Structures are given as C-alpha cells and as structure tokens.
Amino acid sequence: MAFPPEFLDEIRARVALAGVVGRRVKLTRRGREHVGLCPFHNEKTPSFTVSDDKGFFHCFGCGAHGDVITFVTRTEGLSFPETVERLAGEAGLPMPRETPGERAAARRRAGLVEVLEAAATWFEAQLAARAGESARAYLAGRGVQAETVRAFRLGFAPDRRGALREAMHAKGIDDEQLAEAGLVKMPEGGGAPRDYFFDRVIFPITDRRGRIIAFGGRAMGDSPAKYLNSPETPLFQKGRVLYNLARARQAAHDTGELIVAEGYMDVIALAESGFPAAVAPLGTALTEEQIAELWRLTNEPILCLDGDEAGRRAGYRAALRALPALRPGNSLRFAILPPGDDPDSLVRTQGSAAMRAVLDDARPLWEVLWVMATEGRRLDTPERQAGLVATLDEQVRMIADEAVRKAYREAINGRIRTAFGYGAWGTAGPGPRAWAGGRGRRWPDRHRRAPGAGRFGRDRGPRSGNLAASGLGARQAPGFLRRRQEQVLLAALVNHPAQIAENAEELASVELGSPDFCDFCRALVDLAARDPDLDTEAVNRHLSGQGFTGLLRDILHADVYVHGRFARPDASPDEARNGVQDVLEGYRRRQAALEAEEAGRHLAEAMTDEALARLEAKQRLIRQGESRLDELDTLSEVGPEVGPQDPN
C-alpha cells in the first residue's frame, strides 16, 4: 500500500535514528553526531556517521546513505511496508486507515494466521505424543536433534483421517476456515471434508515475518508424493515463498552468505551444521519472485545443487530465469555437490568442513552458462562453433541491464577466444584451434613441423611487444633482467592460461633461476594438466590456495608489464603466444650455449679433430639463430651432460 508522506515524516520525527542504529552498530558520540564502523562494508577505521538532528546516516567509505526507514529495511531484510509497520509500532502511531474492502481482507488473513497457528500447535503436540513415535524415530534416524525439532516447530499429522478437523472444531474453527487455510479438502461430490495432511512429518512454512502461512508434509513410508505442500491460499503462493526465510534473514545479513538448497531436510541439516542462512524453494524451480527475494538479503546467493542430473537441470533453469533480472552487483553462484550427495547427506557423513569447501568453490553464473552451452556438444567444426556462439548470444540478449549484458559479452568472448583462438561478436584472432569433440575439452594443436620452425613446430612470427627493446630477449641477460624475464613469462601464463597447455611439455622441463619460480611454474603445469579449460580467475584462486599469494602479487605488478606488453591481461592471444615463444626461445639459446661452453672445456682435455668439428658445428648453429635442439642432439656430446646453469 502507499503511505501518506506526512505519516512517514511523523515516523522519522518520532523514532530516534541513533537509537535504532545503535542496536546493530557500536556508536561513539562526537559533538552532535555519532560515529561507528559501517554495517554495510568491512572497515577498521570508523567512517559511518549518524546524525539525529538531520535524520540520516552516511558512510564516507562506501557511500551508504539514508534515513531510519532505509536503515531498518537494509539491515533486517524487511520490505518497505513491513519496515513502516514496525517503526510505526515503535513510534506509537496507528497505521493509516484502509478501504473497507482492504480492512475485510486484512481481517480474513489475520484470521487464517490464527487458524494455522492453532494447527501448528496441534501438529507439535502429536509429534510429542504416543502417536508420533514413528515420526520421532524417523527424525532421529535422519540425525535431527530435539532442539532443532523445537526450533523449527516440526510436527506430525497422525494416520487417522479427520483427526485435525475434529481438534480444530473443538477450538471453534469451522470447515470453511479450515478449507480457506488449506488444511482440509472439500469433496466435489459432497460429504465431509478430509484432512489435507495425514501420516506425515509436518514442516511449518512461514512468511518473512515468521508467521505460519502453510505446511509441508514429508511421507515416512512408501508414497507417490514424498513431499506435499499446502494448496495455495490467500496467505500462501508457493512461487513467492522460501522455506526458512524468516530464520535465515538475519544470519544472511550478518554473514553476507545465503544458501539455497533443495528441500526442508537440507535446510535443517545445514542449520545444525553451522549454516543458518539457508532456504529452499517449495518443490519447484526458483521463480523470478523468489530470486528477487534472495537479492533482498544478499547480492550473490549460492544455489547448492544436488550432485545428480536433476540437480544440474534445476541449476540451469535457475540460471536462465535469473538472466533478465541481473543488475550490477546482483547475481547467483552455483555450488555443485559430489555425485549422489545432497547438503543433508554431505554434512552428516563428511561434516561442515566438506560443505564449506563446496560453497567456497561455487562458480559464477556466467560460467554456468558456458558449461550449459558446451556440455555434451561436439565443437570440432566451424559450423558447430558458430552454433555455440549463437546459443550464448541468445542467452546474453536476455539480460535487460545494458552494463551487465556488456560485461557478459566480454567474459564469454574471452572464453571463446581461449577455446577457439578467435573472438565472437566481431572480434577476430589468429584462427580456430582444433577441438577434441564430445565434452568440450580443448587440446592444443600439434602442427606438422615446417622448415625454419622451432622445436615444437611453431612458425616464428615477429618478436612480441617491447621484449627485445627491454633487453629481455638477450641471449644472456644480467641477473635483474633475467629475473624480470621470468616474471614476464609467468605473468603471461597466469593472464593467458591457454599458453600453459600449449607449452606444457617445455614448461615442465624448463629450469628457472629461482626455486620459487620453478615451484610456481610446476604448479601451473600441474593445474593445466588437471583442467585444460582454465581461466585467469581459476588460476589465481588455485595459486593463492597453494601459498603463492605474495609471489602472484610480485609477478602481476605493473613494473613487470613494462618489460613485456604481451603478458598483460588485455594482450591478444596472438601477442601472448608470440611473447611466450620469444622467452622460451631465449632459454633454448642459453641451453645450447651452455652445452657448447661445456664441450669447449672438455675439448681442452681431448683436442681431437673430430671433437673440434662437433664443437664448431654447434657454435655455427647458435650463430645462425637456430634453436632446433633435436638437430643439436644428433651431435654426440664431447663430455658428460651438464644441467642448465645461471650464466651469471
């Protein structure tokens, strides 16, 4: 409903802003204002100011601003009407008068809430009574603790038809009220109404304010319908409601995390395992209204999907349904459980740490679109690749917000460039790469070797960027420049992960000047071997988890990019490929030079015409700029093998 401006102004005048804010933020008075740590972002130095005189709060750190109504709405997850109603009660103000029809509907809804509350109390009593022994055993077998039963107000509908109806009649509640509340069914052909729930564990469903508006029933034995929800009523439309929303709301605001599971037992198991901010849709895929409800509580709720085909399909439906409503900062993340597991089974068999690992590995929505579009799809021809691009383009067009739509195009375009070597939507690259059909796994081309090509058969194009000008292309760079050269190489691999798989053979054997760099490079190669379809975000996350955070920061520093533009994130795939090859070419030259130097030392001990001829042949190849080590390897060694050494 619309509230008169004068009524809202009266609330602002009567309710002290500092008093409301002080319930959630420790405030310190400074002159005529109060300051504290902002509740809307993490900070260590107070930048959040509350002014009772002016009637607003303001954060100089994140820019949050508003009045007492805004503050309660944002921190408690209430709708605007709910906030106004609460603050009006604190201010001692009666709510504005409604029309006669609105007043009648409100009285009817209030009456239904009372009916449902009476039914919930009766269901709870049945669970505790002798008739509820089987239901108590079922819940105990599922690991549900007694305090959880009380907290969630679980109940039991006995296997005796008409039992609830009789109990409600004894309280003065008639059949018409029971039917309107969704507790009994009126037979079409006449006769006595029948209870809607019987022989089921009962889960009360509440609205955002915690008022019971419906029930869910779980069959304990064989039943065609394992779960049964109340029919839709004036209070309950299942596409707008989320199970456990009232309890999860505060936890979501406090932690910034909100988990969306599939069913009641998943939510209860998560709450028992330390994840109180968990909700569930009511037997259907997430609707647009439910997604909007989630975004009122947190910017990126996590959909925790069962590790089976049905769970994956539910995730795909939710992803597509969310696309039109995406806004800057608002999205979904997707956590996929191990095959055969749901949240309930995972936390009860492996504990909360396993659940935390699944949540921490949640993937963003745009990656789910990519998986959805490529899964099970052969992409080994230009036509099939074009079909993939068309599918993704159709999905991206669903996004209404222009800024988000543009960001999705750029993100997916980057993935297409990595996969095929060319971009979509009008951006070109060096041409498509071969794909191994079937599951979207990308394997690098194995080109046939051409005359003048390098060791791995790549045509040597122009040297990349400013590599030669910086001195990093020198055959024997000084110590500082060699370290910079290695930093440039590693930065290029992090920012352009396709180059890891393409050069994996050589990277696995290259010896860098620093042990830390060697470990870093091996970690990259190992990661690419497990997941050929890497992106930069995944590489950064994995390396940080392996303890390379500090090294990553040094490698990705702006000073490093000065010495190799090809290593920058915005470099084209062609630039990155040529740049990485230039650096690796330098290593091949240094290795050949070291071998020739070692041969010279042994030549002094065994100066024969044959040995001299072999040495001269090696030196001639080096002077000519050739790096074909397989050709060098045909020349037998003068002395024992030596490993790579730092020429400095």
pLDDT in tens, 89-103: 988 888 887 677 777
Per-chain mean pLDDT for the chain: 80
- Count of other CB atoms within 10 angstroms of residue 460: 14
Band of the pLDDT at 140, cuts 50, 70, 90?
Answer: very high
Cβ atoms of residues 253 and 23 within 8 Å: no
| Cα three-residue angle 576-581-585, rounded to 5 degrees | 155
The Cα diameter of the chain in Å comes to 117
The pLDDT value given to residue 188: 79
Distance between CA 72 and CA 78 in Å, rounded? 7
Neighbours of 573 (CB within 10 A): 20
Alpha-carbon gap, residue 384 to 381, rounded angstroms: 5
Residue 601: what pLDDT? 55
Q: For residues 257 and 278, what is the distance between their CA atoms, to the nearest angstrom?
A: 9
For tokens 């038809």, the residue is 161
In the predicted model, what is the mean pLDDT of residues 104-116? 85
Chain-centre distance of CA 518, in angstroms? 31
pLDDT grade for 526, boundaries at 50, 70 and 90: confident
Determine the pLDDT at residue 137: 95
Query: Can you tell me the mean pLDDT for 466-474?
Result: 43
Res 184 pLDDT > 60: yes
Fold exhibited by the domain 99-236: DNA primase DNAg catalytic core, N-terminal domain (3.90.980)
Q: Does position 409 have pLDDT exceeding 70, yes or no?
A: yes
Whether the per-residue pLDDT at 525 is higher than 90: the answer is no
**Could you report the per-residue pLDDT of 536-573, keeping only the tens digit for each?**
888 888 887 777 887 888 888 877 887 788 899 888 88
pLDDT digits (tens, 9 = 90+) for 253-303: 778 899 999 889 999 999 999 999 999 998 777 888 899 889 888 889 999
Which pLDDT belongs to residue 648?
A: 36
Does the predicted TM-score (pTM) go above 0.95? no
CATH fit for domain 5-91, picks 3.90.580.10, 3.40.30.10, 3.40.640.10, 1.10.3720.10: 3.90.580.10
Are 457 and 448 in contact, with CB atoms under 8 Å apart? yes
CA torsion sign for 435, 438, 442, 448 is negative
Give 35-88 pLDDT, tens digit per residue: 999 998 888 899 999 988 778 999 998 889 999 999 999 888 888 888 999 999
- Confidence at residue 276, expressed as pLDDT on a 0 to 100 scale: 94
Contacts of 191 (CB under 8 A, 6+ apart): none
What is the distance between the alpha carbons of residues 640 and 104, in angstroms, rounded to a whole number? 99
pLDDT of residue 480: 63
